[in-house]
Structure 1
Amino acid sequence: MEFTFLGTSAGTPTRSRNVTGLALSRSGPKPWYLIDCGEGTQHQLMRTRYSVMQLRAIFITHIHGDHIFGLPDLLTSASMLGRTEPLDIIAPPQVRRFIDAVIENSDSSLSYPLNFINSEAPDFYWQDDHMGVTNVALSHRVACRAYVFTERNLERQLKQEKLAADRIEAGPAWGDLQKGKDVLLDDGRLLRSDDYTHIPRTARRIIVGGDNDTPELLKEASQGTHVLIHEATYTQDVADRVGPWPQHSSAQQVARFAQSAKLPNLVLTHFSSRYQSVPGGTPHINQLAAEALQHYRGHLFLAKDFDTYRLEKDLKLNKLDGH
């Protein structure tokens, strides 16, 4: 599984960080999924290998502008480029009204259908051939969700000794079994794929959190999760000065939770625009990492725009060079 940060700033962009957007895929850019779509997301995409023509679904965590204002631009641009494939938009109900209003009042139209799915439905579950997605309610000023992405249809390996013992000769039946299909032989025997194949590895799982001041809400979902991507808008001293109203997490809060949940990989994002990236800048963004490292002993990453990470099949998270 791979993911690329299209924006890592909270609220407003900076010279080096756009507002929130994340591209995620199982393997390579076809197909891919977009989580949140702040203003300028389509411009950020132009500097990546992801195409709106291959976009399978958009997942919106909540309705704040730095997470949705890029939607009308991206959707209408995809139409102008000739997209015809339907697009799923998983989002709070207000997002549909927002998109409809912009299209209606800007003399715009789309060349493809949108399929809106309510992210706040109590039985929410979405899947395609590559991913199964659930979500978790978070604590923010408006309804907000974290999305849990788990890969589906893992590659199978044949139990060749069992096939030989049952005198099932190599041929098309083997291929169908390896694809997860049950097979009816000419002699009337029904071969079940689960009996003649096994899945040799663990399904990879990533949580992409929205805005949230209570990381502990992800405790149950974190079991069996290999990467948590979560906001760390402030260091704790700034969070204390700002007060509780914004309902964001500090690096300290998230790190303490990740350590208690035994999460192996933590990627922090959604940083307040007050944090500087230039040498000598103050407050400096590295203070967020320094604070988190005081409380977390796993693999910690501080996201930058256009950083690309790959969660390998052996469950190691690597930042890819050249991205």
Structure 2
Amino acid sequence: MLQFTFLGTSSGVPSLTRNVSGLAIHLNKSKDWILVDAGEGTQHRIQQAKLSLQHLKAICITHVHGDHCYGLMGLLASAGMNGRKEPMIIIAPKEIQQWFEATCQFTELFLPYPIEFLDVNALTQPYELNESISIEPIQLSHRVESYAFGIKAIQTQRKLNVEKLAQLEIPKGKLWGDVQQGQNIEWNGRTIFNQDLVIETTQQVYAIVGGDNDQPNLLAQQCKNADLLIHDTTYTQAVLDKVGAGPMHSSAKMVAEFVESVKLPHLIATHLSPRYHDEQGIQTIHDEIAQHYRGQFFVANDFDRYELNADGDLTLIDSGKPWEK
């Protein structure tokens, strides 16, 4: 149901193999997508991932630190230069709107499409992007206000009630096709309503995309209903112990112990310190998670694509493998 394309998985600064934070999320079989965070260089990653700014429906910014938002203004400008006319929804701290307004003033930025800013701190209930997707902000713990976004996808499938059609002796052909298209039909001198001839099933998945955070347990309530957590694993525990509490990030051990405690089925680790960007470093993060978590997990690379299907199963469908590029 949901697909996740990692546009940037580094913390703080980019490296040769990893850009700073950016994540594209879209509902299967739809061109529309959501962007969570837009670090510097994100629009280049969007081009490389063959995503269209014309189909970008919403941008969610977790917090104001530059590795999560410095690419936003250029991205918005490029969307305008490419002829975008549709409104853009931005869910972000209010400071992002102030920065945008100052940028427009001082750099003569003019956008030919409207921006609808939603102050993430003021959202008291999930925002319904459309009939299939809702976005729920969840406050975290960091040096500045930081948020996770819970993304809920709902999928309704309709199939013909073959037994009912046979019982009413409705012949196959045009009438069945009309029912499949959602129409009421006339049969034997009476109207038969569409809802009486189809079976509807609704499935949903819920994924949480975290911003920077040093207290994974703040997500405990939401994780009870979640299928997937994507979270900051900036350091190993040994390095975090040396660095100290000041940066306010999570270690791989902290996150692994948390998701194990809430029995979350799937984890994707991201936001890695540049000290872990080679194959050995990635393995170190992987091994620390494996020591403390028995569920399915991945350590994300730039351009990795994952699919969370309607049954809540997570699959890596395309690997970036930065050390092989």
What is the TM-score of this pair, normalised by structure 2? 0.88
* Map 1:130-145 → 2, pairs under 5 A: 130-145=132-147
CA shift digits 1:193-224 (9 cap, x unpaired):
4995231x631221111111111111121123
- Matched AA of 2:228: V
CA RMSD in angstroms, aligned pairs only: 2.4
Q: Is the 8 A contact 1:79 1:110 kept in 2?
A: yes
2:54, 2:12 → 1: CA distance?
28
* Map 1:1-323 → 2, pairs under 5 A: 1-27=2-28, 30-120=31-121, 121-162=123-164, 165=167, 170-171=175-176, 174-175=179-180, 177=182, 191=193, 193=195, 196-199=198-201, 202-277=203-278, 284-321=281-318
- Matched AA of 2:179: W
Structure ranking higher in helix proportion? 2
Deviation at 1:266, TM superposition (A): 0.7
Structure 2 residue runs without a partner (length 5+): 321-325
Q: Is the 8 A contact 2:158 2:199 kept in 1?
A: yes
Using a 3 Å threshold, how does the CA distance of structure 1 residues 194 and 127 change in structure 2: closer, same or farther?
Answer: farther
Using a 3 Å threshold, how does the CA distance of structure 1 residues 311 and 91 change in structure 2: closer, same or farther?
Answer: same
Q: Is the 8 A contact 2:179 2:194 kept in 1?
A: no
Q: Is the 8 A contact 2:301 2:319 kept in 1?
A: no
Structure 1 residue runs without a partner (length 5+): none
- Matched AA of 1:131: I
For these two proteins, the number of residue pairs brought into alignment is 314
Match of 2:323 in 1: none
Deviation at 1:299, TM superposition (A): 1.1
Identity, % of aligned positions: 40
- Matched AA of 1:27: N
What is the TM-score of this pair, normalised by structure 1? 0.88
- Matched AA of 2:232: E
1:28, 1:16 → 2: CA distance?
29
Q: Is the 8 A contact 1:231 1:268 kept in 2?
A: yes
Task: Find the residue that maps to 1:16 and give its secondary structure.
Answer: coil
CA shift digits 1:102-146 (9 cap, x unpaired):
121112210111111121122342321331221211111222111
Using a 3 Å threshold, how does the CA distance of structure 1 residues 215 and 161 change in structure 2: closer, same or farther?
Answer: same
Q: Is the 8 A contact 1:159 1:198 kept in 2?
A: no
Task: Find the residue that maps to 1:12 and give its secondary structure.
Answer: coil
Deviation at 1:250, TM superposition (A): 0.5
CA shift digits 1:152-173 (9 cap, x unpaired):
2422233333455577884576
Using a 3 Å threshold, how does the CA distance of structure 1 residues 241 and 322 change in structure 2: closer, same or farther?
Answer: closer
